[in-house]
Every structure is written in structure tokens, then in C-alpha cells.
Amino acid sequence: MEDFSLLNRIRYFDNNLDIDQIPEKSFDETIKDKLFTCKQNCFTFIIVIKNQESKNSDPLKIISSTVKIRQDISAYIGSAGYLYMYYRLYEYAKRSNQPELKDEYFAKAVDLYDKLKPFIEQYEIQSVKQKSMKIPTFFIGTPAYYLIGCLLFKDQAKEEQAQLGIMNCMKKILSFMVIFEEEGYRMEDELLYGNAGYLYCLLVLKLDFSEYFSEQVDDAITRVVADIVRAGLVEGNSFLTFSFPRGKKPYIGAAHGSIGILYMIIKAMQLLPDLQKMTNLKDVVIKSLDDLVSRQTKAGHFGYQMSQDPQGEAEAEYAVHFCHGAPGSIPLFVEACKTFGSKRYLEAATLSAECTWKYGLIKKGFGLCHGICGNAILMMCLYRFTNDEIWKKRAEAFIKTTLNNEILQGMDEYEFSGFTVQGVPDHPYSLMEGQAGTIVALADFSGWPSDTQYFEYDIKFPGFEI
């Protein structure tokens, strides 16, 4: 007889998904139903919060799994995450030719953007006083608010207003460079709380808004990359290692470690070819990538930390989601292959994606940071690069499991998620842990015209893939 008490401790569901099964409904119809249900839940929550606002509160409030309500402006669990959600829903309505819905989401996004403005400014005034709040990354600080602001202004009908709005938002993002001048203050290096997360914002500006402040953006990128490389080159090593918090053990995963940081450095090298002239940069990055490849297990896993023996754990014990484990490394190795041309990086990306497919139907939920939808988004990266239909089908199969009753029950019973309340993400409506992220994934996978080319699928992991 199966031991169910043990089953409730296994991190993932066995993947029995059949990608060739002929569905009753089209993929789009199936996920539109799911999107509708998720939106009902999440939007109801946002309306509840807004009603409270009319009494004595503000639109910054978020709710935890223990029903504690507090303020948070971050994209990771707070209000900027909802701004991102509305923006992605707007993009979905735009490409699927739903003009009324498009206008509705755009209006919702602009409304929230305007409502948040005084709170964002207040937060920044406090930040000047409290060093701990000075974290200008996409996930944690205020840059996400301004970055989404740039994207919203770009689609404003009035051109003059659009340009002014974009420039104001960009000035704000660039103004965070001042922290690099401060004595005695240094950000972490990683994506969530550190320089790589700020670099993400600068790289999006470089890619999408190159007609504005191009020199300042290039200078900022160069400066941040140099800072990261300086921090990662531990004496005696020929490759980069990054610890989190700084000075502790070196981390590997995309949120806190080398995978996320190296991805940003490689994207910076692509977008700013002059960086390749930086002394030894190319050499150091290749050695760092090769070191990572050597740490991948036969099944494609990565441990949490560099000190972990790559063959030392049972397969069931490895984390397989964006923040830790193989899924986050798919975009890194794809970009490494594009930049340095080595086949071994494509092999590593494929191994990571195979590992994500096999072990990535995880019981932590349907969220982005550590959930099934996040893993689906990361597999799409390999499809965009290889045009191998299997990765699209597999990603879609993961997305289709959203709100599946059997899976929901398994998530409910999973005992070792690390959540405060079993079966419930700590911030159940948030972008990175909760339903707002699931909505983003469902919207991102919906509404693509049938003639969309494989490289045109704009389904990218927020705050990470560029």
C-alpha cells in the first residue's frame, strides 16, 4: 500500500501529462476559463482593499495567508505587482483584438499608477532615511513602478505627454545610481535584492527606450556590471561566485545567486557590445558558466549553494522552480549559447528544461517564483530559441493544470512547502507568490494569433527575462 504520509512530503507531482492528447476544447478556450476564475478571485480582493482605502487606508495594502494586512509597494508581493498584472492583461487584450477589454485594462493600470504615486514618493522619502529600504531592484524597490510607468506612457495617445512621462520615469530609475556614490553602503549582488535586479531595469530601458538618455543608461549599465564583477571575483578564483547575504555562502539559484546575476551580465554584453572590451569579462563569464555546467546533476538539477555536492542529494530533494534549481537556468544557458555559440550551453539548457518538465509540477502552487506557472514560462524560452514544438506543448500542459482539482488537493496536503499556512502561499494574491502571477501567466499564454512565429511569443519571466 502506498504510504500517503510520505507522499505528502514529496516536492512534486509525478508528471503524467499527455501533451499529444486531443483536447475537448482549444487551449485558448481552456485557459480563458481559468483566467476568468482567477481574475474573479484576485480582482475581488483588490476591490475589497480599495473599499477600505475610502475609509482610512491606501492602495498599497497587501494581505498575507494569515490575513494580516499591511503596506507593500514591491512588485514581488505588493502593489507594483498588480500594476504589472494589469499591464499584461492589457497586452493580452491588445493582441487578441478585444478593444473594449484593452481600454478597460489600460484604464485600470493608469488609475492604479496614479493612485500609487503619492505613496511611492512617500516611500522614497523614507528610503533616504533608512538604508535598509534602499534597494532599487525590480522586485523589491520602486523601479518596477517607474518601469511599468514607461511602458504605460509609451502607449499613451498624446505623444508629448507620453515622452514627458517616459522621461520622468527614466530620470527616477537613473537617479538610484546615487547609491553607488555613497560611502559605506553596498547593495547585495543578486536579482531580488541586489545590483542584478537594478541592472534588469536599466537593460529594459536600454532595449525599449533607447531614444532617451542613452548615454546615461549606457554609463549606468557599465558601472553596475563592473561593480558586480568586482564583487564576484573572489581572490584566487578565475570565475564569479556570489553569496547572499554578502559574505555568507555562495548561492546558485536565479533569485539569489549566480544564475540570475550571470544572465544579467550576458544580456548587458549583448545590448552593450562595448562591455566585451572590459578586461577579462568574456573570459570570466565563460569560466563562470562552465563552472555552473559542471555543477548540474545528471538529471539537470542545481543545488541551492555552491558548497553542495552536485551528486549528493536524492532527486526528490532538489528544488525545481525559478528562485532555486534548474528552471531559472534555462534562459541563462540559452543566452550563453546565443552569445558564445557553444553547443554545451544548449545541452545544459535542454537538460534544465527536461528536469523542469519531469520535476517541475511542484506542490508549492501555481505562482511564478516557486510555482507551476513560473516553470511553464521558463520552458517557453527554449521554444523561442529552438522552435522545437515540444517545449511549447509542455509549457502549455503545465499552464493547463492551473486550478485542476486533484492538483489543488495535492497542494493543500503538501506538508513541507515552508509556507506559514499549509497549502497557501504566504501572499496569496501577489505577483510572485500568488494569484496575480497566475493571472499574468494565463494572460501571457492566451490570445496569440495562429500565424505567430515561434520567436514572437512574448512570454517572459517578469523581472528576469529581457
Nearest to Zn ion of 370, 392 (CB atom): 370
Nearest to Zn ion of 355, 369 (CB atom): 369
Are 75 and 431 in contact by the 8 Å Cβ rule? The answer is: yes
x/- track of binding to Zn ion for residues 15-54 (CB under 5 A): ----------------------------------------
Give the containing element (helix H, strand E) for 232: helix 214-232
How near is the Cβ of 96 to Zn ion at its closest, in Å?
Answer: 30
Neighbouring residues of 387: CB distance < 8 A, sequence distance ≥ 6: 454, 455
For 194, the grid coordinates are: 541586489
Nearest to Zn ion of 362, 397 (CB atom): 362
The correct pick among 39, 301, 370, 392 for binding Zn ion (CB under 5 A) is 370
C-alpha dist (Å) from residue 381 to 35, 230, 447, 456: 22, 29, 18, 11
Q: What are phi and psi of 153, to 5 degrees?
A: -65, -35
**Residue 176: Cβ within 10 Å count:** 23
Judge whether 323 is annotated as a binding position: yes
How near is the Cβ of 25 to Zn ion at its closest, in Å?
Answer: 31
The correct pick among 187, 369, 372, 376 for binding Zn ion (CB under 5 A) is 369
Nearest to Zn ion of 174, 323 (CB atom): 323
d(CA 198, CA 193): 9
d(CA 351, CA 332): 13
How near is the Cβ of 161 to Zn ion at its closest, in Å?
Answer: 38
Give the containing element (helix H, strand E) for 196: helix 195-208
**Interface stretch with Zn ion, choices 55-63, 107-115, 236-244, 317-325 (CB under 5 A):** 317-325
How near is the Cβ of 323 to Zn ion at its closest, in Å?
Answer: 3
Nearest to Zn ion of 165, 374 (CB atom): 374
The alpha carbon of 466 is separated from its chain's Cα centroid by a whole number of angstroms, namely 10
How near is the Cβ of 291 to Zn ion at its closest, in Å?
Answer: 23
CB neighbour burial string for 177-214, b if at least 16 within 10 angstroms, e if fewer: bebeeeeeeebbbbbbbbbbbbbbbbbbbbeebeebbe
Nearest to Zn ion of 388, 426 (CB atom): 426
Nearest to Zn ion of 135, 323 (CB atom): 323
Q: How far apart are the first and last CA of the chain?
A: 48
Judge whether 321 is annotated as a binding position: no
**Interface stretch with Zn ion, choices 82-90, 130-138, 193-201, 369-377 (CB under 5 A):** 369-377
**Residue 27: Cβ within 10 Å count:** 17
For 186, the grid coordinates are: 553596498
The correct pick among 63, 148, 192, 323 for binding Zn ion (CB under 5 A) is 323
**Residue 250: Cβ within 10 Å count:** 18
Nearest to Zn ion of 323, 411 (CB atom): 323
Nearest to 227 by CA among 257, 193, 199, 255: 199
Q: What are phi and psi of 70, to 5 degrees?
A: -150, 175
3-state secondary structure of 243: strand
d(CA 427, CA 425): 5
Binding footprint of Zn ion, residue count (CB under 5 A): 3
Are 229 and 240 in contact by the 8 Å Cβ rule? The answer is: yes
Residue pointed to by grid coordinates 509556507: 419
Nearest to Zn ion of 202, 369 (CB atom): 369
Are 106 and 91 in contact by the 8 Å Cβ rule? The answer is: no
How near is the Cβ of 321 to Zn ion at its closest, in Å?
Answer: 6
Q: Which of residues 92-111 bind Zn ion (CB under 5 A)?
A: none
How near is the Cβ of 207 to Zn ion at its closest, in Å?
Answer: 25
Q: Which of residues 207-236 bind Zn ion (CB under 5 A)?
A: none
Judge whether 38 is annotated as a binding position: no
**Interface stretch with Zn ion, choices 149-157, 221-229, 320-328, 441-449 (CB under 5 A):** 320-328
How near is the Cβ of 322 to Zn ion at its closest, in Å?
Answer: 6
Nearest to Zn ion of 113, 318 (CB atom): 318
How near is the Cβ of 183 to Zn ion at its closest, in Å?
Answer: 33
**Interface stretch with Zn ion, choices 33-41, 315-323, 342-350, 435-443 (CB under 5 A):** 315-323
x/- track of binding to Zn ion for residues 329-368 (CB under 5 A): ----------------------------------------
* Residue 254 binds to Zn ion (criterion: CB under 5 A): no
**Interface stretch with Zn ion, choices 163-171, 319-327, 355-363, 411-419 (CB under 5 A):** 319-327
How near is the Cβ of 193 to Zn ion at its closest, in Å?
Answer: 13
Strands 69-71 and 61-63: antiparallel
Nearest to 34 by CA among 361, 380, 438: 438
Nearest to 147 by CA among 218, 61, 87, 107: 87
Annotated binding site for Zn(2+): 323, 369-370
Task: Please state the residue numbers annotated as binding site.
Answer: 323, 369-370
Residues at the contact surface with Zn ion, assessed by CB under 5 A: 323, 369-370
